[in-house]
Amino acid sequence: MAENFAELARKAYDDNKYQEAIELYLKAIAASPEVGRLHANLAGVYCTVDDHANCILECRRALELAATEPRIYGLLANSLRKTKLNAECLSVLKEAVGKHPNDKKLQAMLKDCLEVETAANPDRYVELMFEKFCEHPKLREYLKDESFLTKLEMLVRNPQLANQLAKTDRRVLEAYDAMMLSEDI
Protein backbone atom coordinates (compact mmCIF):
# COMPACT_ATOMS: atom_id res chain seq x y z
CA MET A 1 0.00 0.00 0.00
CA ALA A 2 2.75 2.46 0.96
CA GLU A 3 4.64 1.65 -2.24
CA ASN A 4 1.55 2.48 -4.33
CA PHE A 5 1.22 5.89 -2.65
CA ALA A 6 4.96 6.49 -3.07
CA GLU A 7 4.79 5.67 -6.80
CA LEU A 8 1.84 8.05 -7.25
CA ALA A 9 3.72 10.71 -5.26
CA ARG A 10 6.81 10.37 -7.52
CA LYS A 11 4.57 10.75 -10.57
CA ALA A 12 2.88 13.84 -9.09
CA TYR A 13 6.29 15.30 -8.28
CA ASP A 14 7.54 14.66 -11.82
CA ASP A 15 4.41 16.45 -13.09
CA ASN A 16 5.18 19.46 -10.81
CA LYS A 17 2.09 18.71 -8.68
CA TYR A 18 3.92 19.28 -5.44
CA GLN A 19 0.99 19.61 -3.05
CA GLU A 20 -0.43 16.35 -4.39
CA ALA A 21 2.99 14.72 -3.99
CA ILE A 22 3.14 15.89 -0.37
CA GLU A 23 -0.31 14.47 0.38
CA LEU A 24 0.55 11.14 -1.25
CA TYR A 25 3.87 10.82 0.60
CA LEU A 26 2.06 11.56 3.85
CA LYS A 27 -0.32 8.68 3.06
CA ALA A 28 2.62 6.42 2.25
CA ILE A 29 4.27 7.36 5.55
CA ALA A 30 1.03 6.73 7.43
CA ALA A 31 1.03 3.21 5.96
CA SER A 32 4.77 2.59 6.62
CA PRO A 33 6.16 5.17 9.06
CA GLU A 34 9.36 3.18 9.59
CA VAL A 35 10.59 3.59 6.00
CA GLY A 36 13.24 6.31 6.01
CA ARG A 37 13.25 6.64 2.22
CA LEU A 38 9.64 7.88 2.31
CA HIS A 39 10.56 10.60 4.81
CA ALA A 40 13.56 11.54 2.64
CA ASN A 41 11.40 11.79 -0.48
CA LEU A 42 8.84 13.91 1.36
CA ALA A 43 11.70 16.13 2.57
CA GLY A 44 12.75 16.58 -1.05
CA VAL A 45 9.30 17.81 -2.01
CA TYR A 46 9.22 20.17 0.96
CA CYS A 47 12.60 21.55 -0.09
CA THR A 48 11.32 22.07 -3.64
CA VAL A 49 8.41 24.20 -2.37
CA ASP A 50 10.69 26.09 0.08
CA ASP A 51 9.01 24.62 3.18
CA HIS A 52 12.32 24.30 4.95
CA ALA A 53 10.94 23.72 8.45
CA ASN A 54 9.13 20.57 7.29
CA CYS A 55 12.09 19.54 5.15
CA ILE A 56 14.31 19.66 8.25
CA LEU A 57 11.83 17.60 10.26
CA GLU A 58 11.50 14.92 7.59
CA CYS A 59 15.25 14.73 7.01
CA ARG A 60 15.79 14.21 10.73
CA ARG A 61 13.15 11.48 10.75
CA ALA A 62 14.83 9.79 7.79
CA LEU A 63 18.21 9.94 9.52
CA GLU A 64 16.70 8.56 12.75
CA LEU A 65 15.42 5.63 10.70
CA ALA A 66 18.96 4.94 9.47
CA ALA A 67 18.43 6.33 5.98
CA THR A 68 21.80 8.01 5.62
CA GLU A 69 22.25 8.58 1.91
CA PRO A 70 24.23 11.71 1.03
CA ARG A 71 21.11 13.25 -0.56
CA ILE A 72 19.36 13.41 2.83
CA TYR A 73 22.28 15.24 4.40
CA GLY A 74 22.33 17.60 1.43
CA LEU A 75 18.63 18.38 1.77
CA LEU A 76 18.98 18.91 5.51
CA ALA A 77 22.02 21.15 5.12
CA ASN A 78 20.35 23.16 2.37
CA SER A 79 17.27 23.81 4.49
CA LEU A 80 19.35 24.64 7.57
CA ARG A 81 21.25 27.24 5.54
CA LYS A 82 18.07 28.68 4.07
CA THR A 83 16.74 29.14 7.60
CA LYS A 84 20.04 30.73 8.70
CA LEU A 85 20.98 27.86 11.04
CA ASN A 86 24.57 27.92 9.82
CA ALA A 87 26.20 26.43 12.94
CA GLU A 88 23.84 23.46 12.83
CA CYS A 89 24.38 23.17 9.08
CA LEU A 90 28.12 22.98 9.70
CA SER A 91 27.63 20.23 12.27
CA VAL A 92 25.39 18.20 9.94
CA LEU A 93 27.84 18.54 7.06
CA LYS A 94 30.80 17.48 9.20
CA GLU A 95 28.85 14.35 10.13
CA ALA A 96 27.85 13.78 6.52
CA VAL A 97 31.40 14.11 5.18
CA GLY A 98 32.56 11.80 7.96
CA LYS A 99 30.12 9.14 6.75
CA HIS A 100 30.59 9.87 3.04
CA PRO A 101 34.19 11.11 2.70
CA ASN A 102 34.28 10.72 -1.09
CA ASP A 103 31.11 12.72 -1.79
CA LYS A 104 32.33 15.85 -3.61
CA LYS A 105 28.97 17.61 -3.33
CA LEU A 106 28.90 17.25 0.45
CA GLN A 107 32.52 18.41 0.65
CA ALA A 108 31.69 21.51 -1.41
CA MET A 109 28.65 22.22 0.76
CA LEU A 110 30.81 21.89 3.89
CA LYS A 111 33.38 24.29 2.50
CA ASP A 112 30.68 26.84 1.58
CA CYS A 113 29.02 26.52 4.96
CA LEU A 114 32.34 26.94 6.73
CA GLU A 115 33.04 30.10 4.74
CA VAL A 116 29.65 31.55 5.68
CA GLU A 117 30.10 30.61 9.34
CA THR A 118 33.62 31.99 9.61
CA ALA A 119 32.80 35.19 7.70
CA ALA A 120 30.01 35.87 10.17
CA ASN A 121 32.23 35.01 13.13
CA PRO A 122 36.03 35.13 12.61
CA ASP A 123 36.65 33.94 16.16
CA ARG A 124 34.73 30.79 15.29
CA TYR A 125 37.29 30.06 12.57
CA VAL A 126 40.10 30.40 15.11
CA GLU A 127 38.22 28.03 17.39
CA LEU A 128 37.68 25.50 14.57
CA MET A 129 41.34 25.60 13.60
CA PHE A 130 42.46 25.04 17.19
CA GLU A 131 40.12 22.04 17.38
CA LYS A 132 41.76 20.76 14.21
CA PHE A 133 45.24 21.33 15.63
CA CYS A 134 44.29 19.44 18.79
CA GLU A 135 43.38 16.43 16.65
CA HIS A 136 46.74 16.53 14.81
CA PRO A 137 49.18 14.14 16.55
CA LYS A 138 52.29 16.29 16.14
CA LEU A 139 50.73 19.73 16.56
CA ARG A 140 48.90 18.63 19.70
CA GLU A 141 52.28 18.31 21.42
CA TYR A 142 53.31 21.80 20.30
CA LEU A 143 50.20 23.34 21.84
CA LYS A 144 51.78 23.00 25.28
CA ASP A 145 54.21 25.79 24.36
CA GLU A 146 52.75 29.24 25.15
CA SER A 147 54.93 31.08 22.59
CA PHE A 148 53.85 28.63 19.88
CA LEU A 149 50.19 29.22 20.80
CA THR A 150 50.67 32.95 20.28
CA LYS A 151 52.27 32.38 16.88
CA LEU A 152 49.56 29.90 15.98
CA GLU A 153 46.80 32.39 16.72
CA MET A 154 48.59 35.00 14.61
CA LEU A 155 48.89 32.46 11.79
CA VAL A 156 45.23 31.48 11.92
CA ARG A 157 44.11 35.10 11.89
CA ASN A 158 46.53 36.02 9.08
CA PRO A 159 47.95 33.08 7.06
CA GLN A 160 50.14 35.47 5.03
CA LEU A 161 52.39 35.68 8.09
CA ALA A 162 53.45 32.02 7.72
CA ASN A 163 56.94 32.65 6.29
CA GLN A 164 57.70 35.48 8.68
CA LEU A 165 56.60 33.44 11.71
CA ALA A 166 58.45 30.37 10.46
CA LYS A 167 61.75 32.26 10.57
CA THR A 168 61.60 32.10 14.36
CA ASP A 169 59.76 28.78 14.71
CA ARG A 170 59.77 26.05 12.03
CA ARG A 171 56.74 24.41 13.67
CA VAL A 172 54.64 27.22 12.21
CA LEU A 173 55.07 25.73 8.72
CA GLU A 174 53.68 22.41 9.97
CA ALA A 175 50.70 24.26 11.39
CA TYR A 176 50.29 26.19 8.15
CA ASP A 177 50.31 22.95 6.13
CA ALA A 178 47.74 21.41 8.47
CA MET A 179 45.60 24.53 8.19
CA MET A 180 45.72 24.59 4.39
CA LEU A 181 44.89 20.88 4.16
CA SER A 182 41.98 21.12 6.60
CA GLU A 183 39.11 21.60 4.20
CA ASP A 184 37.21 18.99 6.18
CA ILE A 185 36.75 21.07 9.35
Q: What CATH architecture is 1-120?
A: Alpha Horseshoe (1.25)
Q: What is the pTM of this model?
A: 0.67
Compute mean pLDDT per 10 residues along the chain, 185 residues long, and list them. Answer: 95 98 97 96 97 96 90 96 88 89 90 76 73 81 84 82 88 82 52
pLDDT of residue 17: 98
- Ordered DSSP codes for the chain: -HHHHHHHHHHHHHTT-HHHHHHHHHHHHHH-TT-HHHHHHHHHHHHHTT-HHHHHHHHHHHHHTT---HHHHHHHHHHHHHTT-HHHHHHHHHHHHHH-TT-HHHHHHHHHHHHHHHHH-HHHHHHHHHHHHHHSHHHHHHTT-HHHHHHHHHHHH-GGGHHHHHTT-THHHHHHHHHHT-TT-
pLDDT of residue 184: 45
